[in-house]
Amino acid sequence: MTGSNPETGQPTRYAAAPTQPTAAATLPSHRGTFASLRLVNYRLFFFGMLLSNTGLWMSRVAQDWLVLVNLTDHSSTALGTVTAIQFAPMPLLAPFAGTLADRFDKRRLLMITQTLSAVTSLTLAALVLTGGVQLWHVYVLAGAQGVLNALDNPTRQAFVSELVPPLFLPNAVALNSTSFHAARLLGPAASGLLIGAFGVGPSILINGLSFAAVLAALRLMDAARLLPAPRPKGRGGVREGFAYVRGRPDIVLVMALAFMLGTFGMNFQITNALMATRVFNMGPEGYGLLGSIMALGSLAGALLAARRARPTMPLLIGSLAAFTVLDIADALAPTYWLFAALLIPVGLCTLTAMTTANALVQLTTDPGMRGRVMALYMAVFMGGTPIGAPIIGLIGDTLGPRWTILIGAFGVGVAVVIAAIVQRGLHSPDDSRSPARSHASR
């Protein structure tokens, strides 16, 4: 009931599910860029998240502009502090969130976290629209949203595997990124225009209202078509999750690369804002446009990932190596438009690395451990931001905006070199049963 064979795509528990005795025979083809959208529950999830993520990206641009321009005198330290506060709960709470995700109904947990996230966003919108917002308000609400994200993200990541059979999972993970970055294409540019015309309030308000799309999608899903993972026996707590990951050096290596990318490479929220305002002297429209331009590359990367049959470690390492080179070139760009154009391939490499790492962890993890392992993965990937963001912000105030990109790219580059050496050891010619291969064959 718990095993699956990703080579054939016949999940044992799916084929044996008593509510769907012929489910395996009636599954649509898993091939094609949009294969997972043929499954009704995933289709609802995809479009609900597309609308909600558009609001999210509008709010992110608005919050950054609020802190950087409205509440401070272009303080990158303050912007880095807000970012750190928002991501600080992730490494602390995500492992416990993974335990909750493995033990309880993921759909109901998501309904709770999404509802409370709407409340925090609407509260900030009310403060901005009434003119009473202060910097400490942003700090407090960013912290509250960070707690909710720490609970929501691992649950949402693990929930994808309950929406689709295993053979569809790489496609579903990639389409999740497609939804996220399609929204990123629309949200920042729309927010920049709204901020220029009406201020930051409307963008934050739209984000609060957009959570209704996800809540509606979750309620409309057909529970009989979900593929719940087996509940863990015994305590099934955080300790078991750590023990499982410690015994999987292939997953540890993926998590290490994800940590370096999340901590030092993916500070675009800060670096783009600083480059737009302090180097190229652009207004909110110019800043918002950078996010949308970068999303072009991210969206292309997501669509390419959706066509890819299986993720591989060489692809992860190669995409991060290309990211390093392109990010350095972007840091040295002499003009706004060259900087913006280079964000397209940077976004493509970033997204390729993110989807590859995510799918590698999900596909090679036992179903009963997936919630806890994905929680640890999200804690590592996003939990590095509270470390990196204040450092990047301080670098911006002392050495200048370009150095915020250069130092981050250097950190990722060093990690890539070390990972390539370690990977050769994990897959040495005399080791025919490496951890990754043995688990992928289950």
Q: Is residue 28 part of a domain?
A: no
Residues 442/11, Cβ–Cβ less than 8 Å: no
Instruction: Quote the tokens at residue 143.
Output: 């912290």
Domain span at 116: 38-228+235-440
Residue 93 predicted with pLDDT over 70: yes
Query: pTM score, two decimals?
Result: 0.67
Is residue 116 situated within a structural domain?
A: yes
| Residue 379, pLDDT score | 78
Least confident of 315-319, 352-356, 436-440: 436-440
CA neighbor of 42 nearest in space, from 178, 144, 194, 142: 178
Distance CA 281, CA 63 (A): 19
CA–chain centroid gap for 78, Å, is 23
Residue 194 lies in a domain: yes
> Which pLDDT tens digit goes with each residue over 49-91?
999 999 998 998 899 899 988 999 888 888 888 988 988 887 7
* Share of residues in the chain with pLDDT > 70 (%): 86
| Percent of the chain residues past pLDDT 90, beyond the cut | 40
Instruction: Judge contact between 177 and 351, C-beta under 8 A.
Output: yes
Q: Is the pLDDT assigned to residue 386 strictly greater than 50?
A: yes
End-to-end CA distance of the chain: give it in Å, rounded.
13
Backbone conformation region of residue 208, classed left if phi is above 0, alpha if psi is from -120 to 50, else beta = alpha
d(Cα 371, Cα 99) in Å, to the nearest integer?
7
Q: pLDDT at position 232, please?
A: 62
Looking at residue 71, its pLDDT comes to 93
Indicate if the pLDDT at residue 428 is higher than 60: no
Q: Are 207 and 58 in contact (CB under 8 A)?
A: yes
| Across 355-360, average pLDDT | 87
Helix (H, G, I), strand (E, B) or coil at 118: helix
Residue 16's pLDDT band (cuts 50, 70, 90) = very low
Contact indicator for 393, 407 with CB cutoff of 8 Å = no
In a domain, 22, yes or no: no
Pull the structure tokens for residue 349: 């490499």
In this predicted structure, what is the pLDDT of residue 185?
75
* 403 token code pair: 């150095």
Does 156 reside within a domain? yes
Among 3-7, 251-255, 263-267, which is the least confidently predicted range?
3-7
pLDDT at 30: 62
Q: Exposed, middle or buried by CB within 10 Å (0-12, 13-18, 19+), for 263?
A: buried
Specify if 33 maps to a domain.
no
**Residue 397: its pLDDT value, please?**
86
Q: If we measure between CA atoms, which residue out of 331, 319, 301 comes closest to residue 403?
A: 331
- Comparing 90-99, 143-152, 312-321, 407-416, which segment has the lowest mean pLDDT? 90-99
Question: Would you give the DSSP letter of residue 66?
Answer: I
The 3-state DSSP class for residue 34 equals: coil
| Band of pLDDT at residue 319, cut at 50, 70 and 90 | very high
**How many Å apart are CA 260 and CA 119, to the nearest integer?**
32
**257 contact partners, CB below 8 Å, separation of at least 6:** 316, 317, 320, 353, 357, 415, 416, 419
Predicted local confidence at residue 17, as pLDDT: 37
For residue 436, name the pLDDT band (cuts at 50, 70, 90).
very low
Q: Is residue 169 part of a domain?
A: yes
Q: Which candidate, 138, 176, 185, places its Cα nearest to that of 157?
A: 176
| 333 compared with 237, residue with greater pLDDT | 333
* CA–CA gap between residue 172 and residue 41 (Å, rounded): 11
Report the C-alpha gap between 166 and 361 in whole angstroms: 13
Name residue, tokens 């303050």: 78
Paired tokens of 268: 């675009």
Contact 272, 289 (CB under 8 A): no
> Residue 308's pLDDT band (boundaries 50, 70, 90)?
confident
Can you give the CATH number for the domain in which 379 is found? 1.20.1250.20
Q: What span, in angstroms and rounded, lies between the C-alpha atoms of 277 and 160?
A: 38
CB 365 within 8 A of CB 373: yes
Answer whether residue 230 shows pLDDT above 80: no
Number of domains into which the chain is organized: 1
Confirm whether 3 is domain-assigned. no
